[in-house]
Chain A
Amino acid sequence: MKRAGTLTLSEVLDDAFHLVPQVAAPWAGWMALLGLPLRFMQAHYIAELQELGTQAREYGIYLGGLALAWMLLIVPALVGRLMFVRACETRMSTLAAPGFKGARFTAAAFFCALYTTLLIESAFWLSCITWVLPPFFILLAGLSVATASLNERPSLTGPIAKIFDALRQGRIVFGLLFVIFVYMIYAGSILLCEPFWLGALSVQVHKARARRSGDDLRLWFERVTSVAEGA
């Protein structure tokens, strides 16, 4: 028998595919726009690496400069992602279309997300030789953005604990990773999949937390009273 209050993968996906079109304009656009410089830099870096071929080691200073630019461009991309996730959260908790105020995030959320993103990026590069672990770090990177707004104060351990707390529902998050991976193969573009990926993760984090805090009951009550008032 299904335990009351347990989330399911289909429920999260269903909510995410309803939620994302509601916040897509303009927040998915902002996310894509702010993420574009990073994508261009990544493409340029890989192209340069291919062109240099076996001589790449001799161009360490040049490639190092590009690598540093890649890292710095993570900042605007992260701002776009946080705005989008915050807009998703506002939409879920208030049921209203999020304006600029609804997509605003705190400095603590931003710096905690930046710290975890960079930490996960290090782990990603170190794990590349294994060929198996990188998808796990892609999942963690998504969760670091989805859990960012839960960080009310700057901390080095708090943001990591929140990511692992979200990972407790491993079956759902790994299921989401698989579904979005399949979707990405069909769509053929990271930019098209990113809103659904982050939207689904923020639904998962938000719903799991709402069930623990009782916020889901408050929303349900608001929905019921608004229907009753409209009738």
Chain B
Amino acid sequence: MRVRFCVHHEGRNAHALCMSCRQPICQECTTEWDGINYCVTCLGRKRAAKRSGRSPFGWLALLIVATLLFMINARLLLHMSVFMAEVLR
């Protein structure tokens, strides 16, 4: 079997595969999270994604769009159902 080396440490034998980027990583670079091995870079990316979830702008945009969609959908449902009822009649 071919020996694989860590992508971050030249000459160091690989201990695991990062399940996000699929690169071989050594024991030092491996972090097990929820039973799955990740490299430092991918783990950092995951943490950054979690942190950006705290931004209020995403929430605000989602709430405004959802409220608008409630209103639009009620009007759409009314017009389309009356239209369809007339077509079917």
Contacts and interface: CB of A to CB of B under 8 A. Distances in A.
Given A111-B66, A214-B17, A154 B61 contact: yes
22 contacts: A46-B81, A49-B81, A54-B86, A60-B78, A63-B78, A63-B81, A67-B77, A111-B63, A111-B66, A112-B62, A115-B66, A125-B77, A126-B76, A126-B80, A128-B80, A153-B58, A154-B59, A155-B62, A213-B36, A214-B17, A215-B35, A215-B36
Give 4 closest A-B pairs by Cβ, nearest first: A153-B53, A118-B69, A214-B19, A154-B58
Given A56-B85, A125-B80, A154-B53, A64 B59 contact: no
Interface in B35-89: 35-37, 49-50, 52-53, 55, 58-59, 61-63, 65-66, 69-70, 72-78, 80-87, 89
B89 A54 contact: yes
The size bracket of the interface on A is: 35 or more
Contacts of A119: 69
Contact of B66 (A54, A114, A125): A114
A218 interface: yes
Nearest to A151: B53
A90 B35 CA distance: 15
B9 to A, nearest CB: 22
A71 interface: yes
